């Protein structure tokens, strides 16, 4: 029980701070450990026949672990999307000899392409 609570506290602390790829990977590890603890607590409660503890453990999984897991996955997807955007639009920033978008029409077309690419990426990850 203490290990579960420690993992949940660590995850919440990570999610409250600035989210980086490494911190979210750490949060993924903690959520995995928390799930393992929760399932172990549930199994022990079932063996003991303690209905109240079984319900409490199921509540923890559905109301604590699942939302935190979803938040971690959402944050990772957002970071990947932001990273992709940076690669697409800033890769030419250091090379002034390459063509850049100079007119508002070109910028509008680029934004439309970007939004369409982002939409397709999100659909493929769903």
C-alpha–C-alpha distance, residues 50 and 52, integer Å: 6
d(CA 4, CA 38): 7
Q: How far is CA 114 from the centre of its chain?
A: 22
pLDDT of residue 93: 55
SS (H, E, C) 57-126: HHHHHHHHHHHHHHHHHHHHHHHHHHHHHHHHHHCCCCCCCCCCCCCHHHHHHHHHHHHHHHHHHHHHHC
Residue-wise pLDDT for 88-102, tens only, equals: 666 555 555 554 444
Is the pTM higher than 0.75? The answer reads no
- pLDDT, one tens digit per residue, over 35-44 is 999 999 999 9
């Amino acid at each position: 029980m203490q290990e579960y609570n420690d993992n949940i506290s660590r995850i919440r602390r990570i999610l409250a701070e600035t989210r980086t790829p490494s911190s979210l990977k750490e949060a993924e590890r903690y959520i995995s450990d928390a799930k393992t603890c929760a399932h172990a607590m549930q199994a022990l409660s079932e063996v003991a026949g303690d209905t109240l503890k079984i319900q409490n453990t199921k509540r923890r999984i559905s109301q604590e672990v699942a939302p935190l897991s979803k938040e971690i996955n959402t944050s990772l997807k957002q970071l990947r999307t932001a990273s992709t955007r940076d690669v697409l639009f800033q890769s030419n920033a250091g090379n002034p000899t390459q063509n850049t978008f100079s007119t508002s029409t070109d910028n509008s077309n680029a934004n439309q392409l970007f939004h369409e690419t982002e939409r397709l990426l999100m659909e493929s990850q769903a």
